[in-house]
Amino acid sequence: MDLSLMNKEQKEAIQHTEGPLLIMAGAGSGKTRVLTHRIAYLLAEKGVPPYNVLAITFTNKAAREMKDRVHALIPNADDAHKIWISTFHSMCVRILRRDISHLGYENSFSILDPTDQNSVVKSILKNRNLDTKQHHPRKILSYISDKKNQLIDPAEAMSESVGFSDGLYSEIYKDYQEILYRNSSLDFDDLIMLTIELFKKEPQVLEYYQNRFQYIHVDEYQDTNQAQYELVSLLSQKYRNICVVGDSDQSIYKFRGANIENILNFEDDYPDAKVIFLEQNYRSTKTILDAANAVIGNNTSRKPKDLRTVRQGGKKIKTILADSERAEGQEILRHVMDLSSKYSYSDMAVLYRANSQSRAVEDAFVKGSVPYKMIGGMKFYSRMEIKDLMSYLKVIQNPHDDISFERIINTPKRGIGLKTVEKLLNYGSVNELSMYDAIKEADFIGIPKGAIVTLMKLEDMIENLRKKSKFLSVTELVDEVLEDTGYISVLEKEDTLESRSRIENLEEFKTVTREFDNDNDVSDELLFNFLSDMALVSDQDSVEADSGVTLMTMHASKGLEFKVIFVVGLEEGIFPSQRVMFDEDELEEERRLMYVALTRAEDQLILSRADSRMIYGKIESNVESRFLKEIPTELIDGGVVEIDSKKAQNPFAKRGGRTHRRTPTVLTDNSGVTFKVGDKVAHKKFGDGIISNIKGEGDSKELDIIFTKEGPKRLLANFAPLEKKE
pLDDT tens by residue, 13-28: 999 999 999 999 999 9
Among the residue ranges 231-240, 382-391, 470-479, 628-637, the one predicted with the least confidence is 382-391
Mean pLDDT throughout 447-471? Answer: 93
Query: What pLDDT shows up at residue 377?
Result: 59
Which one is predicted more confidently, 157 or 404?
Answer: 157
CATH code given to domain 384-522:
1.10.486.10
How does DSSP classify residue 655?
Answer: B
CA atoms within 13 A on the CB side of 231: 28
Angle between helices 203-212 and 226-236 (to 10 degrees): 80
What confidence tier does 334 reach under pLDDT thresholds 50, 70, 90? Answer: very high
Distance CA 251, CA 555 (A): 10
pLDDT at 272 over 80: yes
Three-state SS at 723: strand
Query: What pLDDT shows up at residue 453?
Result: 93
How does DSSP classify residue 238?
Answer: T
Q: Name the β-bridge partners of 348.
A: 564
**CB–CB of 576/629 below 8 Å?**
no
User: Has 87 been labeled as part of a binding site?
Assistant: no
pTM, to two decimals: 0.73
Distance CA 148, CA 154 (A): 9
What confidence tier does 529 reach under pLDDT thresholds 50, 70, 90? Answer: confident
DSSP track, 375-418: ESS--GGGSHHHHHHHHHHHHHH-TT-HHHHHHHTTSS--S--H
Tell me how far CA of residue 46 lies from CA of 387, 407, 662, in angstroms. Answer: 59, 62, 57
Distance CA 74, CA 40 (A): 6
**CB–CB of 262/221 below 8 Å?**
yes
**Sign of the C-alpha dihedral computed for residues 341, 345, 347 and 349 taken in this order:** positive
Summarize pLDDT for 348-383 with one digit per residue, the tens: 999 999 888 898 999 999 888 899 988 765 567 778
Query: What pLDDT shows up at residue 376?
Result: 64
User: Has 47 been labeled as part of a binding site?
Assistant: no
**How many other CB atoms are there within 10 angstroms of residue 111's CB atom?**
14
**CB–CB of 218/266 below 8 Å?**
no
User: What is the separation of C-alpha 436 from the centre of its chain, rounded to a whole number of angstroms?
Assistant: 37
Closest C-alpha among 513, 516, 525, 531 to residue 401: 531
Show the CA angle centred on residue 333, arms to residues 331 and 336, nearest 5°.
110
Peptide bond into 49 cis (omega under 30): no
Which one is predicted more confidently, 374 or 532?
Answer: 374
Show the CA angle centred on residue 482, arms to residues 442 and 522, nearest 5°.
100
**CB–CB of 406/421 below 8 Å?**
yes
What confidence tier does 310 reach under pLDDT thresholds 50, 70, 90? Answer: confident
DSSP track, 158-174: HHH--SHHHHHHHHHHH
Query: What pLDDT shows up at residue 643?
Result: 28
Give the DSSP H or E segment for 210. helix 203-212
What confidence tier does 463 reach under pLDDT thresholds 50, 70, 90? Answer: very high
The overall average pLDDT reported for the chain is 87
Identity of the amino acid at 593: L
User: Has 291 been labeled as part of a binding site?
Assistant: no
How does DSSP classify residue 647?
Answer: S
Distance CA 361, CA 372 (A): 10
Distance CA 399, CA 428 (A): 13
Summarize pLDDT for 17-60 with one digit per residue, the tens: 999 999 999 999 999 999 999 999 999 999 999 999 999 998 87
**CB–CB of 514/613 below 8 Å?**
no
User: Has 513 been labeled as part of a binding site?
Assistant: no
What confidence tier does 713 reach under pLDDT thresholds 50, 70, 90? Answer: confident
pLDDT at 520 over 80: yes
pLDDT at 535 over 90: no
**CB–CB of 288/599 below 8 Å?**
yes
Phi, psi of 185 (to 5 degrees): -120, 150
Tell me how far CA of residue 453 lies from CA of 301, 416, 421, 440, 450, in angstroms. Answer: 60, 10, 14, 11, 5
Which one is predicted more confidently, 81 or 563?
Answer: 563
Mean pLDDT throughout 236-240? Answer: 96
Query: What pLDDT shows up at residue 653?
Result: 38
Tell me how far CA of residue 102 lies from CA of 57, 110, 202, 231, in angstroms. Answer: 27, 16, 8, 18
Spatial neighbors of 327 by CB under 8 A, at least 6 apart, are 610
Query: What pLDDT shows up at residue 446?
Result: 86
Mean pLDDT throughout 515-531? Answer: 84
Question: If phi over 0 gives left and psi between -120 and 50 gives alpha, with beta otherwise, what is residue 650?
Answer: beta
Give the DSSP H or E segment for 606. strand 601-610
**Superfamily of domain 8-97+194-278 in the CATH hierarchy:** P-loop containing nucleotide triphosphate hydrolases (3.40.50.300)
Instruction: Please give the CATH topology (third level) of the domain spanning 110-183.
Output: Arc Repressor Mutant, subunit A (1.10.10)
Q: Which residues are catalytic?
A: 31-32, 219-220, 250, 600
Query: What pLDDT shows up at residue 254?
Result: 87
308-371+545-637: which CATH architecture? Answer: 3-Layer(aba) Sandwich (3.40)
Distance CA 353, CA 355 (A): 7
User: Has 553 been labeled as part of a binding site?
Assistant: no
Query: What pLDDT shows up at residue 317?
Result: 96
pLDDT at 609 over 90: yes
Three-state secondary structure string covering 408-474: HCCCCCCCCCHHHHHHHHHHHHHHCCCHHHHHCCHHHCCCCHHHHHHHHHHHHHHHHHHHHCCCCCH
Mean pLDDT throughout 534-538? Answer: 56
**Sign of the C-alpha dihedral computed for residues 121, 127, 128 and 134 taken in this order:** positive
Tell me how far CA of residue 118 lies from CA of 91, 114, 541, in angstroms. Answer: 25, 6, 34
Q: What are the contacts of 413-416 at 24+ separation with CB within 8 A? A: 413/490, 414/454, 414/458, 415/450, 415/451, 415/454, 416/451, 416/454, 416/455, 416/458
Summarize pLDDT for 84-138 with one digit per residue, the tens: 999 898 899 889 988 999 999 887 777 777 767 888 899 899 989 999 888 999 8
Closest C-alpha among 186, 110, 172 to residue 141: 172
Mean pLDDT throughout 143-164? Answer: 94
Among the residue ranges 225-239, 512-526, 538-552, 576-590, the one predicted with the least confidence is 538-552
How does DSSP classify residue 355?
Answer: G
Distance CA 608, CA 615 (A): 16
**CB–CB of 596/27 below 8 Å?**
yes
Q: Which regions of 166-323 does DSSP assign to beta strands (E)? A: 185-186, 215-218, 242-246, 274-278, 280-281, 308-309, 318-322
**Reduced DSSP (H G I as helix, E B as strand, rest coil) percent helix, strand, coil of the chain, to 5:** 50, 15, 35
Distance CA 40, CA 53 (A): 10
User: Has 32 been labeled as part of a binding site?
Assistant: yes
**How many other CB atoms are there within 10 angstroms of residue 640's CB atom?**
9
Summarize pLDDT for 188-232 with one digit per residue, the tens: 899 999 999 999 999 999 999 999 999 999 999 999 999 999 999
**How many other CB atoms are there within 10 angstroms of residue 374's CB atom?**
20
Q: Based on the number of CB atoms within 10 Å of its own CB, is 438 exposed (0-12), middle (13-18) or buried (19 or more)?
A: buried
Closest C-alpha among 638, 609, 641 to residue 623: 609
User: Has 28 been labeled as part of a binding site?
Assistant: yes
**CB–CB of 527/393 below 8 Å?**
yes
Three-state SS at 529: helix
Alpha helices in 472-563 (DSSP H): 474-485, 487-494, 497-519, 526-537, 554-557
Distance CA 350, CA 374 (A): 10
Distance CA 693, CA 130 (A): 56
Angle between helices 88-99 and 190-201 (to 10 degrees): 50
Query: What pLDDT shows up at residue 660?
Result: 35
Which one is predicted more confidently, 465 or 444?
Answer: 465
DSSP track, 4-31: TTS-HHHHHHHH--SS-EEEEE-TTS-H
Query: What pLDDT shows up at residue 656?
Result: 37
User: Has 167 been labeled as part of a binding site?
Assistant: no
**How many other CB atoms are there within 10 angstroms of residue 131's CB atom?**
10
